[in-house]
Amino acid sequence: MSVFLTPAVLFFSLLLGSLQTKGQQNPLHINNMPIDHSVCYEIKIYKTIPEVLPGYLCEIKDAQIIGDCLELTIVYGGCNGNLELITDSLISKDSKLNFKLRWIDPSFCKASVLTKVSFDLKPYQTVIKEKMASVKIMGTNFELFYNN
């Protein structure tokens, strides 16, 4: 017994297959690298941190410092996207080192995924200790102390 597919059936089979592939989850990227939960990613330095950054923001649910890493628990769109954490690396007058999470490439999915991402605080250790500064996550109420 042989099976013959008409052009219409073949077209719809290929279309359905491509739609299923588009709906599959792609990994979140941090600094253009697929997320690896064992890595503390580099924090990017900007001259100034704009109040509103282009791109879609994700929601930060929790922040803590573990060792030399700033660990953020985030909720994001769920199918892809590329995030970075930025700072101007300057201690503010109120003794805070400000950081902001932003999308480089946004996720356009409506699903919500909860995950943790970590960023390396070690390059800021000396200045934080010398100025007795706290780590402030802009756009949140999280203000942490880095005592390592």
Per the structure, the complete domain to which residue 109 belongs is given by 25-144
Question: Tens of pLDDT along 79-135?
Answer: 778 889 999 999 999 999 999 988 777 667 777 888 999 999 999 999 999 999 999
Please report whether residue 6 resides in a domain: no
Please report whether residue 69 resides in a domain: yes
Number of domains in the chain: 1
Q: Which tokens belong to 104?
A: 């480089």
Please report whether residue 42 resides in a domain: yes
The whole-number pLDDT of residue 103 equals 79
List, in order, residues 6 or more apart from 65 with CB less than 8 Å away: 71, 121, 135, 144, 145, 146, 148
- DSSP, collapsed to helix, strand or coil, labels residue 89 as strand
Please report whether residue 109 resides in a domain: yes
Please report whether residue 95 resides in a domain: yes
Please report whether residue 12 resides in a domain: no
Please report whether residue 125 resides in a domain: yes
Query: pTM higher than 0.75, yes or no?
Result: yes
Kindly state the percentage of the chain with pLDDT values over 70: 76
CATH of the domain at 101: 2.60.40
Q: Which of 74, 80, 75, 76 is nearest to 23 (CA)?
A: 80
pLDDT at 19 over 70: no
Residue 55, exposed/middle/buried by CB under 10 A (0-12, 13-18, 19+)? middle
What secondary structure letter does DSSP report for 88?
E
Please report whether residue 73 resides in a domain: yes
